[in-house]
Amino acid sequence: MAAVAALLSVLISPAAAQAAPGESRPVYSYDHAIRESVWVDTRLDGDADGRTDRVAVDIVRPAEPAQQGRRVPVIMDASPYYSCCGRGNESQKKTYDDRGRPVQFPLYYDNYFVPRGYATVLVDLAGTNRSDGCIDIGGRSDIGSAKAVVDWLGGRGRAYTARTGGTPVAADWSDGSTGMLGKSWDATIANGVAATGVKGLKTIVPIAGISSWYDYYFAKGAPLYDSGPDSLADRVESPDAQKHCAAVQKKLADGAPRTGDWTGLWTERDYVRRADKVRASVFMVHGMQDLNVRTRHAGQWWDALARHGVERKIWLSQTGHVDPFDFRRGDWVTTLHHWFDHYLMGYDNGIDRAPMADVERAPGTWSTDRQWPAPGTRATTLRPRAGTVPGVGVLGTGKAPHGATATFTDDPKLSEADWAARIDERTPAKAGFRTAPLRAPLRLSGSGKVTVTVTPSTSTAHLSAVLVDLGPDTIRNYAADGEGITTLDRRTCWGAGTPGDTGCFQETAADTQKVGYTVFSRGWADLGNYADAHKGRPLTPGKPYSIALDLAASDHVVPAGHRFALIVAGTDAGLIDPPASTPKLTLDLSRTSARLPLTGGAPALARATTGTPRHTAPATPLDGIAPPRSISRMPAAG
């Protein structure tokens, strides 16, 4: 009985117990909260059945404000995963009672925020769970169905008590202020809705979100997966949608050719191009070792928002595709609480004046910066040269002499782990270049690029460029199943609970591994896209081509005593698909360079590398994280 009583009581997290004055407090009953479902008219007819689609919207909101004639702000998560796959580390799904009323809301948002005076709204994207229409992978239907809910919450839309027919219902309990959040696909929807400039969307909190769907499937023409958005749609559609959405799936397949060429489908799903419309503040979270939704998405979205003066904040972890609730739980809940209090309730709690960036330096150890990329960061050029050991190059500021080359042959079986482990050896599948041990730490903060000139032996070629920290460290094991976390047996409760939705979750801990090197940024391209990033061309064997490989955003410090390396190679096994041929590539060293975001710029590079002693290569390969595994093609599973 004691356990049941505990579940029914308002269970306050350790973070909430230390709540400071001037913030929302858990004064409303969660047990007696209003739980309801409505169907919002999207004004779209995605399944072409002759009537506009309605999307299911499940709501939990405190009863007392409505009884007192007061309205409340909304925290909203729009997702395709509420019935097919689940949300969070425990893959929770929505559940309902025998009258169809919501019982369990996945995650802790309702448990924690409803007692504090917020409504929590979970939206089934069109074509999923209890909604009409068709999923269209970040397109007009996905974004439009979520935007329609924001409009309804602001008094500008229509909703009904049933999927068909029903009684009109108004959101007369909403004050019109909405914050969207969620991980991965859910985060992507938040990005896309913000890029419409919709009124009433005050803030978004995208966790590992996609900013351009082309960049989820391709890297400058190089395919990151062996399937396209039509396959993804098939995974998440409701049984009813699968009967009616074949035409939409065909459009997805036809509009996303495996050549990697840009089409109108990708333009529609590129939110970066519409960053000028964003009026919401943005609190972005991303794992720097996320090999599902790569940090290129975070970097380009962040830079676009910065250009348009959007208020923003960022957390960068050492994890892979992981929610901050599972790698920094207490600090995350507190920070998110203050963020929503400020942007949705108007509390002047200082969150908008706090340091802009938190970066995880070691498992569980964080640093802060007042802005990001770090103040004083400048694009700085490093160049590869031949070294004294045959086949083992040098990375520095000096330009290689005209005619200097390095060669490698694409081996689709090898990955960045294989290349980095043998950086000090001449191996046929890579061209590697490294500094001597650094005299001072060297920090890279932001996005960079590697420009290469290569001559292929065949008519097709894929390229990879990776940055490596060569030296011993303990890092999160991002290539393991937990992507840097391990799940424990014990639970803690974050907010209030009922027997059907306890608000209690398994704790996690860092999953760490000792390594001899760390790959911390990557970029890929199809060499056939040398003339146009959006359209490939056949290559002429024996002819040189130049192309820039965009590196994923990162924030990494290479410590003094470690070496810093650049590797250029072909197929990065497990991360990009191989080309049709197996080319040998000749790298023109005099026309190859890395333009990298170094904090302190060229002077910092000079301090770290000037007068460094000659390096003696180790006799054995270095140890690192296991080679990248074949990752999920679902951008938010888990």
Write out the DSSP string of 349-399. Answer: -SGGGS-SEEEEEETTEEEEESSSSPTTEEEEEEEEEEEEETTEEEEESSP
What is residue 462's predicted lDDT score, i.e. its pLDDT? 98
Element (H, E) at 574: none
Q: If you write DSSP's letter for every residue of 409-455 in order, what string do you get?
A: E--TT--HHHHHHTTTS--TTEEEEEPPPPSS-EEEEE--EEEEEEE
Active-site amino acid positions: 184, 290, 321
Of 281, 326, 87, 304, the residue nearest 184 (C-alpha): 87
The length of the chain is 638
pLDDT in tens, 434-464: 999 999 999 999 999 999 999 999 999 999 9
- pTM: predicted TM-score of the whole model, two decimal places: 0.94
54 to 44, 82, 146, 462: CA distances (angstroms): 9, 16, 11, 44
Q: Count of alpha carbons within 13 Å of 589, Cβ hemisphere only? A: 28
Q: Which two tokens stand for residue 213?
A: 């769907």
Q: Is the dihedral of CA 123, 128, 132, 133 positive or negative?
A: positive
Distances (CA, A) of 413 to 7, 61, 224, 312, 627: 52, 53, 15, 41, 11
CB atoms within 10 A of CB 203: 24
Measured CA to CA, the distance from residue 216 to residue 256 in angstroms comes to 12
For residue 178, which of 302, 104, 72 has the smallest C-alpha distance?
72
Per-residue pLDDT of 513-539, as tens digits, reads 999 999 999 999 999 999 999 999 999
Q: Does position 3 have pLDDT exceeding 50, yes or no?
A: no
Q: What is the pLDDT of residues 160-211, one digit of tens each?
A: 999 999 999 999 999 999 999 999 999 999 999 999 999 999 999 999 999 9
Element (H, E) at 565: strand 563-569
Q: Strand 545-550 and strand 392-396: pairing?
A: unpaired
- List, for residues 42-76, the tens digit of each pLDDT value: 999 999 999 999 999 999 999 999 999 999 999 99
For residue 183, the one-letter residue type is K
pLDDT single digits (tens) 258-302: 999 999 999 999 999 999 999 999 999 999 999 999 999 999 999
Asked if pLDDT for residue 373 goes beyond 90, the answer is yes
- DSSP strand pairing (449-456 vs 593-599): antiparallel
Residue 28, CA distances (Å) to 10, 12, 145, 348 in order: 9, 13, 30, 22
Tell me the C-alpha distance between 469 and 559, whole Å: 8
Q: Cβ(464)–Cβ(576) under 8 Å?
A: yes
Question: DSSP of 7-66, one letter per residue?
Answer: HHSEE--HHHHTPPSSS----S-STT-EEEEEEEE-S--TT-SSS--EEEEEEEE-HHHH
